[in-house]
Structure 1
Amino acid sequence: MKTAFLHAFLMTVDTGSMAEASRRLNITAAAVAQQIKALEGEIGVELVTRVGKTVRPTEAGYRVIERARTLLQDAANLKAIANLGEVSGELRLGSINTAVESLVPEVVAQLVIAYPDLRFHIKPALSSELFNEVQHGDLDAAVCLHPLFSLPKTLVWQQLREEKLIALAPLSLADKDPHELLRTQPFIRFDRKQWGGQQVDHYLRIANIVPRERIELSHLSAIATLVGRGVGVALVPDTVMPASITSRIVRLPLPINTRPRQLGILWQRASIHEKLINLFVNQAKILCQSSDIQ
């Protein structure tokens, strides 16, 4: 059974279209259909069926989807084992949104220049989701926040930077007390479902501040943009954001010291892709120590 047949089948069911699968696989739609037909011939059952303009798995197709994904991953792992002395292969990397906008592209850009055979699949998500996917083996590593609990011994953590909470305000309010701003100005809240948002909620409680909530968002750059537009003030981790946004806001230190959030990289101990992960970790550490990232 050729792995190309499995790729064609999975890409078709994931996109719902042989035409779209052909574009993503860079082959013709007829070739996709032929590969799926060949796979069906080997297995002995129909795996897909047309429903209107879309292609969907048959009942048998649904039963083999996850096993097909596992087989493809096993094949990729065999290639990685055979090429342990070379820097090649694909790293399945997860990342929180703020790192996707700053750190991750810088690291990836430098690594692919140095190692042309290195490939990346990058998935943005919440830290809690990334933690679960690394733990279950769906991702090789993740740039995320340290969870609010102790890590299991099966996982490895490398801290990159600490980010204290700060108040964000428009430039016109730069001389104001941050607690007074948080009490009196419209408040743009960092999503409470996120670990960083839970730290914000903790700070508001210990500071006895009941904010005038206006908006709740999960994206720090969007929060900073709204602050710069005069929509309100915010309480957020002091993370990296584009200069086009930070030039319109002021970062105000807080009078109460709290535990900063920890940004780092998480992966499974003794991962088959440990060499690639270490390359990413080392480059990320170098960048986080430079003024370009801090």
Structure 2
Amino acid sequence: MSIKALRTLRAIIQQGSFAAAGEKLGLTQAAVSIQIRQLEEQLGVTLFDRVGRNQVLNHDGRVVLERGEQILDMYDQLGHGLGHEGQFKGELLIGAVFSVQTAALGPVLAGLRDRYPQLKIKVMRGMSIDLAERVESGELDAVLITEPQRKILEQYEWTTLECEPFYVVAHKDLPVQSDAEMIRTYPFVRLDPRAWAGTMIDNELRRRGITPDEMMELDSLQAALMMVEQKLGVTVMALGKRKAEYLRQAFSLVPFGDPVIHRNVGVYQRRGHSRKALVQAVIDEYRSL
């Protein structure tokens, strides 16, 4: 049984098909199929059932995948932590929502690179719900996101870094009114309700009986700000202290909610993964700002 075959099995599940796994790994679909067939022969079981034209992981396949993930994690950790600063070398894969990337993340990573110059850092961007799934699949070491709006399973952990209030964001030229009046008066640029922050905004609007004049729905805070900048409407978003101070130079910020609602931003990661000490360094750097 080879590590390569276990990686191939994991890639099939992560990518959704044999063909997509092959593209990810630089293999032909036939080579992927051969590796899985050899793995099945070694284990004496089939790992996939054919459903129509699709190959679906069966019970034995799910068990093998779970055990294979443990083996791959242990294999990948063989070189970690060797030597005094060994665990602070190599590559750190993290994700961050837009509001974090454009505020605290830059100074945090700059401080981290000063301390660990041999460290390579890759940052992925996305919505909180998508980034959380990438942690759960093992694709990312940790993510800086909105606190999950669902129960956190025991194999994962959450660390709060900042509590961010929500604001109605409007063009400087618009007269400042209450949050409800501004949303009722001007076209509303809504955040994608799939985003956890978008869900919190929608819940507060319904609770207070505020029906906005929706102009558009966006999944990007940056795009929403561009619409507001062009005087196309107002939007609502959560802002940390640094980001709020910066945006006040160009926009009017009116606290949103009665009382004002907040979201927690922090770090979501798996328990006991190989880069946890390095993620803790990110947390420490963030809190030192």
Give the structure-1-normalised TM-score.
0.71
Please state how far the C-alpha of 1:111 moved relative to its aligned partner.
0.9
Partner of 2:77: 77
Using a 3 Å threshold, how does the CA distance of structure 1 residues 95 and 164 change in structure 2: closer, same or farther?
same
SS of match in other structure, 2:80: helix
Per-residue CA shift, 1:38-58, capped at 9, x if unaligned? xxxxxxxxxx99xxxxx9732
Partner of 1:122: 123
SS of match in other structure, 2:288: helix
Aligned mates of 2:155, 2:72 — CA distance in 1: 24
Partner of 2:184: 183
Query: Match for 1:128: what amino acid?
Result: I
Per-residue CA shift, 1:175-213, capped at 9, x if unaligned? 323211101211111111100001111111112111111
SS of match in other structure, 1:201: helix
Using a 3 Å threshold, how does the CA distance of structure 1 residues 150 and 286 change in structure 2: closer, same or farther?
same
Aligned mates of 2:104, 2:257 — CA distance in 1: 29
Matched, 1:159 2:189: no
Using a 3 Å threshold, how does the CA distance of structure 1 residues 143 and 124 change in structure 2: closer, same or farther?
same
Query: Match for 2:270: what amino acid?
Result: Q
Query: Match for 1:272: what amino acid?
Result: S
Question: What does 1:11-90 align with in structure 2 at a 5 Å threshold?
Answer: 57-63=27-33, 76-83=76-83, 85-86=85-86, 87-90=88-91
Fraction of identical pairs, as percent: 24
Matched, 1:264 2:234: no
Per-residue CA shift, 1:229-254, capped at 9, x if unaligned? 21111122124548775422100123
Aligned mates of 2:279, 2:252 — CA distance in 1: 36
Question: What does 1:155-234 align with in structure 2 at a 5 Å threshold?
Answer: 155-234=156-235
Using a 3 Å threshold, how does the CA distance of structure 1 residues 73 and 242 change in structure 2: closer, same or farther?
farther
| Maintained 8 Å contact 2:156/2:270 | yes
| Maintained 8 Å contact 2:166/2:257 | no
Partner of 1:140: 141
SS of match in other structure, 1:80: coil
| Maintained 8 Å contact 2:204/2:257 | no
SS of match in other structure, 1:90: strand
| Maintained 8 Å contact 2:156/2:268 | yes
| Maintained 8 Å contact 2:95/2:144 | yes
Aligned mates of 1:113, 1:72 — CA distance in 2: 31
SS of match in other structure, 1:102: coil
Question: What does 1:97-108 align with in structure 2 at a 5 Å threshold?
Answer: 97-108=98-109
Using a 3 Å threshold, how does the CA distance of structure 1 residues 266 and 257 change in structure 2: closer, same or farther?
same
Aligned-residue RMSD, C-alpha: 3.3
Aligned mates of 1:102, 1:263 — CA distance in 2: 12
Using a 3 Å threshold, how does the CA distance of structure 1 residues 90 and 76 change in structure 2: closer, same or farther?
farther
Partner of 1:276: 278
Give the structure-2-normalised TM-score.
0.72
Number of equivalenced pairs: 240
Query: Match for 1:261: what amino acid?
Result: R
